[in-house]
Amino acid sequence: MAFTAKSVANYFFDLAKSQSDHSVSPMKMQKLVYFAHGWSLGLTGNPLIDEQVQAWPYGPVIPTLYHEFKHFGNGEITDYATELNWGNSGGRLGEFEVITPQIPNDASDRTQYSRALLNKVWEIYRPYSPIQLSNITHEPGTPWHSVSVNFSGGIPKDTAIPNEIIREYFSKLAGK
């Protein structure tokens, strides 16, 4: 079972809030969620998020996170990612509620493993600046680089980075 990118972002937001000396910008959030997804694919073969990662000029991007957090610009994210839950409450169409997607708080092996993975990704990547994280994703041989070299005139909009390429890269990093 994969999670929404917003639920993973909210997990990282909680970690950042719990450590007052750390903040997360939209670019850093993109990279944290990407690295977590990559390590999940590389270590288990399973995707962490249920969304496609795309190759944008500044590295891997999950479009829903980009649109959710772009209003923060280069600044600190100060609130959770949300979703609209459209319902048919009491027979009245058009009603909705705003929800905050979260990683479930259950005892399943998948959830416990995912939480441990997210904590480890946070521990390893939190000291890096957004630019440093972006530079890591641009290194030769990375999934973003592998996709981007096919487009000398610029990466076309909506260009996916296939999970298989991400899995292969992170499997190699893990020594598998």
pLDDT tens-place string over residues 53-111: 999 988 999 999 999 999 999 999 999 999 988 765 555 666 778 899 999 989 889 89
- The length of the chain, given as a count of residues: 176
Extract the runs of DSSP E, i.e. beta strands, from the chain: 53-56, 59-61, 83-86, 96-99, 160-161
Q: What is the tens place of the pLDDT at every residue in 124-156? A: 999 999 999 999 999 999 999 999 998 876 899
Dihedral sign of CA atoms 58, 62, 63, 64 in order = negative
From residue 39, how far is each of 85, 92, 129, 174 by CA, in Å? 30, 43, 19, 8
Q: What is the pTM of this model?
A: 0.93
